Structure 1
Amino acid sequence: MNFQKWDMGSKMIFIASCAALLSFFFKWVEIGMLSQNGFSQGVVFFILLFVYPCVTVIREKRMNKKLGYVMAILGVVLGMSYILSKTVDFLGSTINVASGGPYLFMAACGLLALGVRKRKI
């Protein structure tokens, strides 16, 4: 594994995978003084979407780009559905209690898609 000899797409995929993993340490739900990270919210299985692209980059193998795009799009869809599921009624008004974690995860999915597009092999 030599990060410096990778092409730009491979670097983007690796960084996106690290950002997605990092997003689970951020707050995913925040209600006033109460908050929970991605691990306690049970969304850690979302990282499975990054396993195939990251492993192909680390092993320097050819990637099925269609599958890479599907993983990235599915990640954005799962992130959006998570955010929309955290809309609650509170004291007569509707609020969304999703915090920064799912947004970082979706940004990582966008970077994953861009990395898949720029990857040469």
Structure 2
Amino acid sequence: MESKKYLLSEIIILISSAIGLLSLFMPWVNLAFLSQNGFAQQGYIFLVVMIYPALSAYKKKSSNKIISIITLVIGLIVMFAYISDKSVDFFGASISAAGSGAYAMLLALIGALVGVIMNKRVNQEL
């Protein structure tokens, strides 16, 4: 059985997935009187879009590039909407209540998308 090395793009996908998982333990909502982690904010839903590319990268198998890109872009759009929805008006000033965990998940989704686009082991067919 031939042992294949991990490609740089697969390493990027795996590290991004790990960052996404770790972001669930960080605060996703952070105000002076309120702080909630990713589990309380149901951030684990964002990991669903990262499962297919992460498993394919871990197993060093080819995956469908189009499906991976579409799911990650959907995750990015929803994450941007989540972050923009967490702004509140406080004494006439708009304050973002999105915590560091939400931004870490955003970076993880971007990293996974970059890894999928860079991946040479990925199929182009449906």
Q: If the length of structure 2 is used for normalisation, what is the TM-score? A: 0.86
Tell me, yes or no, if structure 1 residue 55 matches structure 2 residue 62: no
1:82 is displaced (CA, Å) by 0.5
1:14 is displaced (CA, Å) by 0.6
Which range is displaced more, 11-20 or 66-75? 66-75
Q: Tell me the distance in 1 between the aligned counterparts of 2:95 and 2:6.
A: 44
List gaps (5 residues or longer) in structure 2: 122-126
List gaps (5 residues or longer) in structure 1: none
Q: Tell me the distance in 2 between the aligned counterparts of 1:62 and 1:116.
A: 11
Cα-to-partner distance string for 1:55-96 (whole Å, 9 max, x where unaligned): 111222211111111122122111111111112222333222
Code of the aligned partner of 1:29 = V
Structure 1 or 2: larger helix share?
1
Tell me, yes or no, if structure 1 residue 69 matches structure 2 residue 69: yes
Code of the aligned partner of 1:67 = I
Q: Tell me the distance in 1 between the aligned counterparts of 2:17 and 2:42.
A: 18
1:34 is displaced (CA, Å) by 2.4
What SS does the aligned partner of 1:5 have? coil
User: Aligned residues: percent identity?
Assistant: 33
